[in-house]
Amino acid sequence: MAQSETTDNTPQTRKNRARNDRVIARWLWDSFIRHRVPFILLAIGLMVVEALTLGAFSYLVQPMFDDVLIEGERGRVYLLALAMAAVFFGRGLARLGHKSVMAWQAERATADLQAMLLEHLVRLDQGFFKHYAPGVLIERVRGDSEALRRVFISLITGLGRDGSAVIVLFGVALWTDWQWTLIALAGIPILGLPLVAIQRLIRRRSTEARRAAADSSNRLDEAFHGIATLQLTGTEAREMVRFRAILREFARKMTRALIGKAAVPTVMDFGAAIGFGLVLIVGGFQIIEGTRTVGQFMSFFTALGLLFDPMRRFTALTAEWQNLLASLERTHELLHVRSKVTNPPPPHLPPPQRDATSVELRRVSFAYDSEPVLRDLSFLAPAGKTTAIVGPSGAGKSTVFALLTRLADVTEGEVLIGGQDVRRMDLTALRCLFAVVSQETALFDETIRDNILLGATEVSQADLEAALQAAHVDDFLPQLPNGLDTLAGPRGSSLSGGQRQRVAIARALLRNAPILLLDEATSALDSRSEALVQDALERLSEGRTTLVIAHRLSTVRKADQIVVMDRGRVVEQGDHATLLAKGGVYARLHALQFDGENED
């Protein structure tokens, strides 16, 4: 730790950080602040009004003491009371106004940033998501974006409100007695070096705290996703031990960051203590000697007392900015992550005709980072036929689907559809060629209707009913409380596994894409559900180029061809009977599954 902190404090590192801070500040201005300037100026105007009321209050203290309390001028009592009431009434309205405006703009800006982050993230390739767990990304979108809200609520509001108050109250103090004012500020210059050191500490500690918060969110996400496993294995206590350890680490790092922030106003209080003490000594003797009045001293002391509080907060804004930068820097970096999969520049190759959607992988190699997954892989799936891809776990079967749909791009070789390289097609048009049904069906916490349509608006009722019937969804709809408008629940938890698969098949039917990708679509189902789903899949695959990934070889016996993969390569290819006769890898896999059993 000591070594890393030393490295963080090198002149070059500080220079780079200052340059990066300017980049982030410019990004904030251009993306979230510039077009909100009219509202911000309105709020700052109200902050100035609030500051003027503080100045008016401190100024009115002098006649209150000298003219009313000491000289006993009864005629001025009502006037001063009315003036004081007006001051507090005006201050309350001004404060309500600027807080309302800034809260409105803060919430809108934060919502814009969160939407911007999600819009960016959903366009990144699958390689990115292998390095970032969902819980970490949730924290990056929700937690780190909270910093933008504080830019409006804490930083801009602090600059406007406390900056105005400092100027106004400083002016009242100077008007009352400029010598007392200079004496009161005598302790401030010696605080410069400690404040700079504290700000650097806050930046480091805040960055560490944000990382720890992401770890905490990720652990929560994994615990909730795996809640059934935790309960069935009796490992709730073990999970709590791990989560408490993460929380302790987060609490430790967050405490350091908060202590650093709290140290800034504390240092300012040290300066205020010196200034107050000196003014009390000098001013006290001047009042005793009769060269200054009690009213002057009380007015000055009121202005000074009110001055140090906004000055302390104003100085603390530098610490707040360092704290905010820790989150904003992470957000800015995330927004500048570039996808390895991008839409090619026009002109794009046109999508092939429906009857010409053959799929070919030609000498394809692929790796996530440095780990090779596919090695010189080649095979052809004819248009309108069913091609099954089988092999042991880790053979690279699912990666083939990712390359076809350009969720990732090949390291070497070509992926062709209809003889055309997918990397030269428009990305949206390419993905419209595919309908996918996988083992883990992606359903959302919306109605079954919404999960099937997924935003499609030009689907007729007749087409929808035909899809429901073909996918056997209409078999279980009468059992649901609201039929097609029943909520599927988080990740489709209100439905059984077979029901979720049938909803996914209905979705694929309505999509009416020429290429169908089936990834272990029936592997987690019971016999009855599997039979229904298998029947629906056979209807779905009619007239389409179909690629099937399956571990259960009984589900691929009718495929037109079977591609056997092992360690990222094609080791055998042919139909079911041919591969059994060869007595190779496929025959051994078949024997392992059906040894002593009748596969029919």
For 153-199, how does the pLDDT look when each residue is reduced to its tens digit (9 = 90+)? 888 888 888 888 888 877 877 777 777 777 766 656 655 556 666 66
Q: What is the pLDDT of residue 330?
A: 83
Q: For residue 228, name the pLDDT band (cuts at 50, 70, 90).
A: low
Distance CA 341, CA 336 (A): 14
Beta carbons of 505 and 471 less than 8 angstroms apart = yes
Q: For residue 4, name the pLDDT band (cuts at 50, 70, 90).
A: very low
Q: For residue 39, name the pLDDT band (cuts at 50, 70, 90).
A: very high
Name the CATH topology of 347-433+515-525+538-595.
Rossmann fold (3.40.50)
| pLDDT of 7 higher than 50 | no
pLDDT (average), residues 87-110: 88
| pLDDT of 364 higher than 90 | yes
Contacts of 373 (CB under 8 A, 6+ apart): 366, 367, 396, 399, 568
Q: For residue 426, name the pLDDT band (cuts at 50, 70, 90).
A: very high
Selection from 129, 246, 264, 145 nearest residue 198 by Cα: 264
Q: What is the DSSP letter of 365?
A: E
| pLDDT of 34 higher than 70 | yes
Residues carrying CATH 1.20.1560.10, the chain: 21-335
Query: To the nearest whole number, what is the mean pLDDT of the chain?
Result: 80
Q: What is the pLDDT of residue 46?
A: 92
Q: For residue 392, name the pLDDT band (cuts at 50, 70, 90).
A: confident
379 vs 439, residue with greater confidence: 379
13 vs 353, residue with greater confidence: 353
What percent of the chain stands above pLDDT 90?
Answer: 13
Residues carrying CATH 3.40.50.300, the chain: 347-433+515-525+538-595, 443-512
Long-range contacts of 284-292 (CB under 8 A, 24+ apart): 292/177
pLDDT (average), residues 56-75: 68
pLDDT (average), residues 539-561: 83
Q: For residue 147, name the pLDDT band (cuts at 50, 70, 90).
A: confident
pLDDT (average), residues 485-512: 83
CATH placement of domain 21-335: 1.20.1560.10
Distance CA 357, CA 378 (A): 17
Asked which of 68-82, 304-318, 365-379 is least confident by mean pLDDT, the reply is 68-82
| pLDDT of 134 higher than 90 | no
Burial of 542 (0-12, 13-18, 19+ CB in 10 A): exposed
Q: For residue 561, name the pLDDT band (cuts at 50, 70, 90).
A: very high
Distance CA 552, CA 599 (A): 11
For 324-363, how does the pLDDT look when each residue is reduced to its tens digit (9 = 90+)? 887 788 888 888 888 888 888 888 888 888 888 999 999 9
Q: For residue 413, name the pLDDT band (cuts at 50, 70, 90).
A: very high
Q: What is the pLDDT of residue 142?
A: 82
Q: What is the pLDDT of residue 191?
A: 57
For 193-223, how does the pLDDT look when each residue is reduced to its tens digit (9 = 90+)? 566 666 666 667 777 776 777 777 777 777 7
CATH placement of domain 443-512: 3.40.50.300
pTM: 0.70
pLDDT (average), residues 577-585: 88
